[in-house]
Structure 1
């Protein structure tokens, strides 16, 4: 078990490299071969050596490009986040290495990041990668908290945007206030006398799904009602899955008078399911979404939704990462940005 009392000399002895090389790796200074750096970092993690404190003066900022990974196509939601990240990095003079699209989630990249190497281009086997990464921004990463902790132990600065699962407190992250956003939209519906409210939720294991269902339940409790598990469907947040889940809810013997969808795309699917059944929105059925992307203003009627500050999430992630790269102390590691209810024409009084 790591004791935290190991010394630089212990690491040098365990790896067979010089004390000076171990020091360069710990301080991220000088030129060290990627294989040697990985060897030293593994020994540091195993022996429990703590990172050195700077001896006076300002610690040297970490050099290198910023790796940005997004496991989804860059349209709508994710495109806005990545665009703001790219613009913000450019203002700081940092190069961006982007890895995005379907299939990215299944690629093992954290081991490459841990040694400061660029993963190969998407869809290629590639060599070990190129040197030159200073930090990373991981959007909705599929890795477990333990895997992310191992990456942090290798001292590569990184920030998580919209975490998929709960993170340890010392991993920097930026997300929207999912609980309060869901509470706002359900409170809006209960204020219109809706009590039987269906939920087209996101994947069951996502942190955002759990937080939004909790916010939904809190708003129902405020109105003197209890959530009904039979009115919840867990699906991938796509138009097709929203259509399917909404259809199941609308075909119940006692159908809901309102539907809340995990995102605006799923809400569009719900609109299609309602139209197919001859239900008028909002006269017969109210429908609300989440995100406030462009499609929410392109439907008829336009969608009531919860606005997420997607571009600000990207900018805040870069701000946090730059502070980590500059070796500053970062105390507010988990940042939640406020959401805003946007009321449009798709919600109305319960019929």
Structure 2
């Protein structure tokens, strides 16, 4: 019997429907027990012994990242993998852009070898996430593309405050003609960052006009094209706030092609603080997202769900930090 005899007797009694006293008599080999009752108790003891000897199956977490594992998504996924390992969980990774076109969520609850999921920037809409949630399948969303439904656990960065810090920084340097290269219009992060820029500009009495705003896919090539469009205007903006560091690199390229000096002629700011932001010339002023912490918090939230607890905070926003480097300076003239 296990270390807690009293609890074990109660367990066997509950399994067999006999009293604790009867279980005790059987286990102590008393004679005044009916043979049928003795067999019933001994069989229950044996079943419990066999269950205790069965190897415990390692729980598996399906991690879906339908994007290239760059220095943005790669940091988050690496952090998730390391934290899952610390908790003794196995990772099943589905990554790459081809995963965007697969119906990955529908069959998740029916997979016997998958216990839970972490979904990074899922392309599916909120209704599909709600449908998955109603099956009882546990999952957490990291960096949601659209506003997450209220009862679904999600982890993201504080996009609004981070973007507002960028605009406040540029305004403090004297810039009043600021262009914004935003992300896709249907992304939650893009909406929040644009709202942060607008809030800072509005407080300073500056209107972000349509000719100073571009919505693009957040790539270096798209950033270069959008920046060229802004910089070919007369007058051109004195500063450009970019959706992410890759867009900022494209903006640096467009500025150089036009013979502009950064930051003397044009200030440029990014977002994310990936390694690339420190490798440019000049290094990028940007907003640091706690990417690795996002991965760790996502696993922590998922562990609470797996253990049968409701997370105390369903939607967690992690603080961002403005990192000032050489790509921004006082407004020229």
TM-score, with length taken from structure 2? 0.82
Deviates more, 1:218-227 or 1:284-293: 218-227
Give the length in aligned residue pairs. 277
Corresponding residue number in structure 2 for 1:300: 281
Give yes or no for the alignment of 1:333 onto 2:314: yes
Name the structure with the higher helix share: 2
Match of 1:103 among 85, 88, 98: 98
Q: For 1:1-351, what aligned pairs fall within 5 Å after superposition?
A: 64-115=59-110, 117=111, 131-351=112-332
Q: Contact conserved, 2:144 with 2:154, CA < 8 A, in 1?
A: yes
Q: Contact conserved, 1:198 with 1:256, CA < 8 A, in 2?
A: yes
Query: Where does the alignment leave 5 or more consecutive residues of structure 2 unmatched?
Result: 1-55
Query: Where does the alignment leave 5 or more consecutive residues of structure 1 unmatched?
Result: 1-60, 118-130
Q: Summarize deviations over 1:252-307 as a string: whole Å, max 9, x none.
A: 12211001111101100000000000000000000000000000000000000000
Secondary structure at the counterpart of residue 75 of structure 2: helix
Shift of 1:329: 2.1
Corresponding residue number in structure 1 for 2:15: none
Q: Distance in 1 between matches of 2:226 and 2:208?
A: 17
Report the RMSD for the aligned CA atoms in angstroms: 1.2
Larger Rg, first or second structure (1 or 2): 2
Task: List structure 1 runs of 4+ shifted beyond 6 angstroms.
Answer: none
Q: Contact conserved, 1:62 with 1:325, CA < 8 A, in 2?
A: no
Shift of 1:64: 2.5
Secondary structure at the counterpart of residue 293 of structure 2: helix
Q: Distance in 2 between matches of 1:216 and 1:63?
A: 46
Q: Contact conserved, 2:58 with 2:90, CA < 8 A, in 1?
A: no
Secondary structure at the counterpart of residue 211 of structure 1: helix
Q: Contact conserved, 2:67 with 2:99, CA < 8 A, in 1?
A: yes
Secondary structure at the counterpart of residue 72 of structure 2: helix
